Amino acid sequence: MLSFNLPTMVNAQPQTSQSQLTVEPEFWWADMQHNQLQLLVYGEDIREHSVNLTKANGVKLTSVVQSDSDNHLFINLDLANAEPQTITLTLEDKSGSSQSFSYQIKQREANSAQRQGFSNKDVIYLITPDRFVNGNPNNDVSPDMLEGLDRNFDGGRHGGDIEGIRKALPYLHELGVTQLWINPLLENNQAKYSYHGYSTTNFYKIDPRFGSNEEYKALVEQAKGYGIGIIKDVIVNHMGSGHRWMQDFPTSTWINHQQTWQQNPDLVPYTSHHRTAVQDPYAVKADLDDFEKGWFVPTMPDMNQNDPLMATYLIQNSIWWVEYAGLSGIREDTYSYADKAFLTRWSKALMTEYPNFNIVGEEWTKNPITVSYWQAGKQNADGYVSYTPSMMDFPVYEQLIEAINAKEDWGSGLITLYEALANDVVYADPTKLVLFEGNHDTNRLYSLVNEDIDLYEAALTYVLTSNRIPQIFYGTEVLMTSPIEGRHDGAVRGDFPGGWQGDAVDAFSGQGLSKAQNRALSFNRKLLNYRKNSLAIQQGSLKHFAPENGTYVQLRQHQDETLMVIYSKNADATALDLARFAAHIGNYQRAINIISDDKFKLGDTLEVSKGVTLLRLK
């Protein structure tokens, strides 16, 4: 966002009156695929101003779109032949008074378009920034923001920030993390519950309680030095009710149910959450509208991607942040709730700009068919085309938690996890899905397995050795807990131990960690760092064997690296007959336990304990 306090000019003579202009995006770049640029200009009574391009080289002013608001203008520029430069645009009213502003077209960084997105080589670590590390207590409260600090309230702001993430980079590198997905950092100037970040009130500004745009960019650059990329959490479906647009909409169709809200906010309809209506060949339009156009809650107005000016604004905003900050990925929130034709355009624009980039969408359902609809390459019956390479694998996550906890029986337990992978046939590419052990909306893994450390290690191993892209939630490595039943957002997003000065338990130094926490942290470090160099996990084949007698075996193999992953839910040690696997493990005679480093000869049977046994065969 670019703001100017400029003197009004009449016949080039300065006057004493002041007029403020705000321009979004605040700058752009030359040599972009997205070279047809839309500027949203905000200023008092500028709607009917004429616009002239008074200084430019290779830039064309293609059109000016008058807003439905007196205080907005849309300026369209053709940058196809533009070189890096600073151009000048002049706005003039009917009386001849004019004001000019400069606009920068920057040089792109070398190889920006060829940036590598996150992939199966990575382990993604999800951070809720307000709850991770408070690196700069001086920004806990901002005079321009409505909500202050209240660490005693689990729904309040606790003070975590970008500086805290920066300070944690050595710890994260040692842990074995290679990507950070950070919950939204943009300004959320809401009166309460602003900590989670999903009610954006300025799409071009980092919330000052987290830091600044410059600090975010510096974090990305410093993280690269540790071999860590940054994934931005993007929301194109809704915004925050505290956004200034709610007082002065740029168009009459900027948000869904705009006129209803203006007449009586109490009458605004809320989403039905019936996500299958988007794909259902028998769904009526009313059901589709109820899902797609309804608001989440009163504080999250639903943006209208069918408004072409809004659609372009959102597309440009996503590209701007990738280019400006140097991102390696986007996680798109509440994916299917946005208009699906817009999602095609949005994902295509990003992947055209950055062909090796990655985007993962959130479609929260247990139904793999519903998730598969949104993945790039899927041949949908209705002809719908997506360019989003990845989706969150909620179906396998849900089945993993259920299978780990269920009683082993003919139709329950590990067999259901085994059968769930057969659903991979519905995906264009299941290996590009992101599988997770938990996130900011799900209860904590250690709690969900009833604080059974063996089952915890089994569930984590399943995620980290799967043929997916794995994601873990901050604090999982030190057994953070939550209630088990229902939604408990504040507790799930608890403060990371050691993130605040004076914390009795400190995961960074190890101070105060229990025996179980130390075991979990060591387990995570060992497996994550092994995974960094394991082609069998990153790109190898997957074979699995139907569970028997409370055990389930998977094989990951690439060239001469073969891993045998054995899951057991039996309380006592179990003798595994290796003859069953002979056709697949060949002439291997020895094995190394990846976690313990124990080496031993293979015989006719293998004794395995409860939890997981992870072996490299020799």
Q: Which residues belong to the active site? A: 333, 362
Are residues 314 and 294 in contact, defined by beta-carbon separation less than 8 angstroms? Answer: no
Are residues 148 and 141 in contact, defined by beta-carbon separation less than 8 angstroms? Answer: yes
Helix (H) or strand (E) holding 614: strand 611-617
**Dist. CA 163–CA 543, nearest whole Å:** 43
SS3 readout for 389-429: CEEECHHHHHHHHHHHHCCCECCECHHHHHHHHHHHHHCCC
For the record, the structure tokens of 169 come out as: 């980079």
**Dist. CA 493–CA 490, nearest whole Å:** 5
307: Cβ–Cβ under 8 A, 6 or more apart, which residues?
Answer: 251, 253, 254
Q: What is the DSSP letter of 158?
A: -
Alpha helices by DSSP H, listed for 185-332, are 213-225, 258-263, 285-292, 308-325
CA 198, 205, 251: angle at the middle one, nearest 5? Answer: 75
Residue from 311, 292, 337, 293 nearest 251 by CA:
311
Are residues 295 and 302 in contact, defined by beta-carbon separation less than 8 angstroms? Answer: yes
Helix (H) or strand (E) holding 73: strand 72-78
Helix (H) or strand (E) holding 268: none
Residue from 508, 478, 490, 510 nearest 130 by CA:
490
416: left (phi over 0), alpha (psi -120 to 50) or beta: alpha
Q: In angstroms, what CA-CA distances link 23 with 20, 63, 103, 119, 295?
A: 10, 16, 9, 35, 27
469-473: strand order across its sheet? 390-391, 359-361, 329-332, 229-234, 179-182, 124-127, 469-473, 434-436
Q: Where are the beta strands (DSSP E) in 225-351?
A: 229-234, 329-332
Q: What is the DSSP letter of 302?
A: B
- Give residue for tokens 């997105």: 117
Are residues 405 and 456 in contact, defined by beta-carbon separation less than 8 angstroms? Answer: no
Residue from 508, 468, 611 nearest 124 by CA:
468
Burial class (CB in 10 A: 0-12, 13-18, 19+), 327: buried
**Dist. CA 413–CA 68, nearest whole Å:** 59
Helix (H) or strand (E) holding 34: none
For the record, the structure tokens of 216 come out as: 């975010």
